[in-house]
């Protein structure tokens, strides 16, 4: 029985890795706006959540704080984001999306929607709903367990 569980885990890891590789490759090709996918995701988080601390971005994107700092530096240099120190605690760095960043995301939204359509076109609507349910369940479980 343990061997079957190991085989299932290996298969899940293999197909997740292959799907992510295809997704990132295609997304990178479609994002010809000059923004790498990691910067796109950071801007998307800012649009969804408003001004955020770098530590919040690291948690949201599940990357390290130095990686967030590096991405934020590039976005600030390009005019897509602004950085400011928290008024009550100058050690805390806040990042905000700029109008230029919002414009860039609006242009990329259509490309992202096309990518979702392209990537999942082989699934029936019921399969898409089931996949969404299973992915949500896995992520929510991990989120709760990781906080414990």
Domain boundaries, the chain: 2-147
Distance CA 95, CA 21 (A): 29
On whether the 2-147 domain is CATH 3.40.50.300, my answer is: no
The DSSP letter of residue 32 is T
Could you read off the pLDDT of 103-116 as tens digits, one per residue? 989 888 888 888 88
Q: Is the pLDDT of residue 140 over 70?
A: yes
Which helix (H) or strand (E) covers residue 118, if one does?
A: helix 99-119
74-128: per-residue pLDDT in tens? 999 999 999 998 888 888 889 999 999 999 898 888 888 888 888 888 889 899 8
pLDDT digits (tens, 9 = 90+) for 30-74: 666 567 888 989 999 999 999 999 999 999 999 999 999 999 999
């Amino acid at each position: 029985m343990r061997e079957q569980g190991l085989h299932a885990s290996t298969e899940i890891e293999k197909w997740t890795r292959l799907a992510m590789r295809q997704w990132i490759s295609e997304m990178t090709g479609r994002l010809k706006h000059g923004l790498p996918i990691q910067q796109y995701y950071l801007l998307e988080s800012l649009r969804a959540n408003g001004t955020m601390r770098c530590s919040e971005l690291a948690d949201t994107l599940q990357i390290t704080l130095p990686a967030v700092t590096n991405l934020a530096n590039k976005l600030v240099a390009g005019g897509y984001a602004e950085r400011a120190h928290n008024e009550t605690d100058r050690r805390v760095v806040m990042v905000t999306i700029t109008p230029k960043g919002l414009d860039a995301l609006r242009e990329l939204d259509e490309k992202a929607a096309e990518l979702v359509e392209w990537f999942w076109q082989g699934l029936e609507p019921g399969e898409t709903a089931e996949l969404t349910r299973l992915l949500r369940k896995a992520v929510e479980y991990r989120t709760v367990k990781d906080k414990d």
